């Protein structure tokens, strides 16, 4: 669907995004830089006006064969050029510093919102926004730098119009009117020619990002791809991505070609129009020869100020798509609700005494059946429960719904906050960093003495990991260093150091020996960490107090293994 600039970047959308992205923490440094930029723009325009008069006198001195005046005006000319160069460079430096400051603060704010309350997961599950990573990196960079650049261009153009209108009117009212009409007509025609660029640029950003994402997928899964010999399928997919982005880019190039024909001719005519109007005045003896040069300079500055859309249309089209994509991301972040997804009501409390399921029915995402039907169960603190499901998807759905990251179905789940409960998936998440950072919560890396951490690693036979890491404080890419069994043991070490009231375990012992599993379950019991574990029919029941069995049709039965009055089922 073709959209106009007004449809893609309305003033309301742009103003809304500006309001969202202006960071209060920019503070006095930003205000100082803005003030300096304004003063420099005034200086640049003042020097440009002065330069037009110096240039006029310089050319008049040549026409009058006045050697003394020629050298005097030449000296002034060089001085004005030198001052203009210094102010222009300092202005550019200040603009870049302000843009960098804005980008830094805005990116940090957006990253915080993206990672807060599991927004990243919600956006992925709901598929509301494509390529949020690219929007946070490339689009934020483009938005801050381009917004600042366009703002300064508009301000500079306004000052230029004010400064050179008087110069132009003093030369010829006809030339001033020609400049205005020429710029307005050129602007309207360039909008007509370049309008498709807005949609095409927006689509191109996503096509480039999709291609880059598939290349990253190949890099991250290189070993699995090599073992499965799926290069042919991936090659076909990547070639399709290239065809998509090349086809769309070809359309952009064709529009730019048409726009280029017009804008190039438009720029060439600027050089001759002032002479066509002013030269007859000189020939009739009404003005000096230097006025021709001054009129050309003034005309060029004035038309450029009025023709901002023409000269910057391609940038405006790209900027329109950036604003649209970034505004869409902000809206998606603000609209998402971290506590509810689908119809499951998740009630997170600061009460670590129990986990309760009240009429919970969990549906399969792709099948018209219930994985779990009307589960009503209360698990009190201190009660260790084994969940066995003939359909593994049922147990996984219960694990995810309790964590609050997926909830297809209906009912209500009551559980403690993350201060009191931990969720361990079958494949633990190990992020790049030090071993200390991997084991301890952010901000609490030195809460536990090193000897105590090393002793815990020794108890779980993880000293070889400490040796491979080179110590607790050496950066490592753990996904390429650890085996699955080591990852699972480290996850339990992290759980033991955190000591929550509850732990929900999703088949986290698949790569461990029976002896290791028994040792872990005994340790959790000794630490009074209530664990709920997804398991198999032949799992050892010694460290469990109850079993929840879920049939393939979603029906469930609950059986107490010990006489525990604190446990109740449906």
Same domain, 207 and 322: yes
- pLDDT-derived band at 378 (thresholds 50, 70, 90) equals very high
In the predicted model, what is the mean pLDDT of residues 284-299? Answer: 73
Mean pLDDT of 443-464: 86
Q: Which residues of 342-362 are buried (b: 16+ CB within 10 A; e: fewer)?
A: eebebebeeebebbbbeebbb
320 and 388 assigned to the same domain = no
Q: Residues 172-198: what's their mean pLDDT?
A: 78
- Same domain, yes or no, for 289 and 416? no
Same domain, yes or no: 326 and 349: no
State both tokens at 93: 């430096």
CATH at residue 399:
3.40.50.300
Tell me the per-residue pLDDT of 96-135, one tens digit each, with 9 for 90 and over: 888 888 888 888 888 888 887 777 777 776 666 777 887 8
- Boundary residue ending a domain (309, 335, 361): 335
Which pTM was predicted? Answer: 0.60
Q: Does residue 365 lie in a domain region?
A: yes
Q: Give the mean model confidence (pLDDT) for residues 126-147.
A: 80
Indicate if the pLDDT at residue 176 is higher than 60.
Answer: yes
Whether 455 is in a domain gets the answer no
CATH, residue 53: 1.20.1560.10
Any domain includes 15: yes
- Total domain count for the chain? 2
pLDDT at 257: 86
Query: In terms of domains, do 311 and 389 share one?
Result: no
* pLDDT at position 504: 94
pLDDT tens by residue, 470-509:
888 888 878 778 888 888 888 899 998 889 999 999 887 7
- Token pair, residue 74, equals 């030449």
Residue 462 lies in a domain: no
Residues 330 and 388 reside in one and the same domain: no
For position 3, what pLDDT does the model report?
A: 43
Lowest pLDDT segment from 43-47, 120-124, 361-365, 512-516: 120-124
Indicate whether 209 and 315 sit together in one domain.
yes
Among 414, 434, 395, which Cα is nearest to 554's? 395
pLDDT of residue 556: 94
Q: Mind listing the pLDDT tens digit for each residue in 196-247?
A: 877 787 788 788 888 888 888 888 777 677 766 667 778 888 898 999 999 9
Percent of the chain with pLDDT over 90: 12
User: Looking at residues 252-279, what average pLDDT do you find?
Assistant: 78
Q: What is the predicted pLDDT for the residue at 223?
A: 67
> Does 291 lie in the same domain as 157?
yes
**In whole angstroms, what separates CA 335 from the centre of its chain?**
16
Q: Of the residues 315, 335, 355, which one is the last residue of a structural domain?
A: 335
Higher pLDDT, 381 or 56: 381
Q: Residue 463: inside a domain, yes or no?
A: no
Say whether 17 sits in a helix, a strand or coil: helix
pLDDT of 50 reads: 80
> What pLDDT is stored for residue 4 in this prediction?
43
237 plus 383 within the same structural domain: no
Binned at pLDDT 50, 70 and 90, residue 310 comes out as low
Residue 1, helix vs strand vs coil: coil
For the chain, give the percent of residues with pLDDT over 70.
89
| Residue 41 included in any domain | yes
Say yes or no: 117 and 53 in one domain: yes
**What is the mean pLDDT of the segment spanning 291-311?**
71
Domain identity same for 349 and 330: no
pLDDT category of residue 10 using cuts at 50, 70 and 90:
low
Considering only 68-72, 83-87, 93-97, 125-129, which range has the smallest mean pLDDT?
Answer: 125-129
For residues 497 and 469, is the Cβ–Cβ distance under 8 A?
no
pLDDT surpassing 90 at residue 355: yes
Q: Residue 440: inside a domain, yes or no?
A: no
How many residues appear in the chain? 570
Contact (CB, 8 A) for 352 and 381: yes
> Do 130 and 271 fall within a single domain?
yes
Which residues, listed in sequence order, are joined to residue 387 by a DSSP beta bridge?
Answer: 534, 548
Residue 340 has pLDDT above 50, yes or no: no
Q: Residue 420's domain spans which residues?
A: 341-430+482-560
| 569 within a domain of the structure (yes/no) | no
Give 442-510 as a 3 state SS string: CCCCCCCCHHHHHHHHHHCCCHHHHHHHCCCCCCECHHHCCCHHHHHHHHHHHHHHHCCCEEEEECCCC
314, 335, 356 - which closes a domain: 335
Confidence of residue 11 (pLDDT cuts 50, 70, 90): low
Given the DSSP bridges, would you call strands 354-363 and 409-416 parallel, antiparallel or unpaired?
Answer: antiparallel
């Amino acid at each position: 669907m073709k959209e106009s600039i007004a449809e893609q970047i309305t003033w309301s959308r742009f103003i809304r995004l500006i309001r969202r992205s202006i960071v209060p923490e920019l503070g006095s440094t930003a205000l100082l830089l803005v003030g300096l930029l304004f003063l420099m723009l005034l200086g640049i325009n003042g020097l440009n006006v002065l330069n037009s008069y110096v240039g006029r006198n310089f050319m008049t001195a040549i026409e009058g064969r006045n050697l003394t005046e020629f050298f005097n005006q030449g000296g002034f000319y060089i001085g004005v050029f030198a001052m203009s160069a210094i102010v222009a460079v300092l202005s550019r430096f200040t603009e870049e510093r302000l843009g960098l400051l804005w980008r830094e603060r805005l990116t940090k704010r957006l990253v915080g919102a993206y990672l807060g309350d599991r927004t990243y997961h919600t956006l992925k599950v709901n598929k509301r926004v494509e390529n949020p990573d690219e929007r946070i990196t490339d689009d934020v960079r483009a938005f801050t730098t381009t917004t600042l650049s366009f703002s300064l261009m508009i301000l500079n153009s306004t000052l230029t119009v004010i400064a050179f209108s008087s110069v132009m009117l003093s030369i010829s009212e006809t030339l001033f009117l020609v400049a205005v009409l020429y710029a307005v007509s050129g602007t309207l025609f360039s909008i007509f020619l370049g309008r498709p660029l807005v949609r095409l640029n927006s689509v191109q950003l996503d096509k480039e990002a999709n291609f880059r994402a598939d290349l990253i997928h190949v890099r991250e899964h290189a070993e699995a791809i090599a073992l499965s010999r799926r290069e042919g399928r991936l090659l076909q997919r990547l070639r399709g991505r290239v065809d998509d982005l090349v086809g769309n880019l070809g359309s952009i190039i064709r529009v730019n070609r048409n726009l280029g024909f017009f804008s190039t001719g438009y720029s060439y005519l600027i050089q001759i129009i002032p002479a066509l109007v002013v030269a007859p005045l000189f020939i009739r003896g009404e003005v000096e020869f230097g006025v021709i040069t001054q009129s050309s300079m003034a005309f060029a500055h004035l038309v450029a100020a009025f023709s901002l859309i023409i000269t910057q249309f391609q940038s405006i089209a790209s900027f329109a798509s950036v604003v649209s994509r970034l505004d869409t991301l902000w809206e998606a972040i603000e609209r998402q609700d971290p506590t509810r997804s689908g119809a499951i009501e998740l009630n997170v409390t600061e009460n670590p005494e129990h986990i309760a399921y009240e009429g919970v029915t969990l549906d399969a995402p792709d099948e018209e059946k219930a994985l779990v039907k009307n589960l009503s169960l209360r698990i009190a603190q201190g009660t260790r429960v084994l969940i066995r499901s003939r359909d593994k998807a049922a147990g996984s759905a219960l694990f995810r719904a309790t964590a609050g990251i997926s909830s297809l179905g209906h009912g209500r789940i009551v559980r403690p906050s993350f201060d009191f409960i931990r969720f361990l998936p079958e494949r633990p998440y190990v992020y790049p960093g030090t071993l200390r950072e991997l084991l301890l919560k952010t901000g609490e890396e030195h809460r536990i003495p090193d000897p105590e951490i090393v002793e815990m690693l020794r108890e779980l036979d993880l000293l070889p990991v400490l040796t491979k890491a080179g110590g607790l404080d050496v950066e490592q890419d753990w996904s390429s260093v650890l085996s699955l069994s080591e990852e699972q043991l480290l996850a339990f070490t992290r759980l033991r150091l955190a000591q929550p009231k509850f732990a929900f375990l999703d088949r986290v012992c698949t790569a461990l020996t029976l002896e290791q599993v028994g040792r872990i379950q005994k340790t959790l019991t000794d630490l009074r960490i209530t664990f709920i574990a997804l398991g198999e029919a032949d799992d050892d029941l010694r460290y469990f107090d109850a079993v929840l069995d879920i049939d393939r049709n979603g029906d469930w039965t609950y059986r107490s293994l010990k006489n525990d009055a604190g446990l109740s089922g449906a």
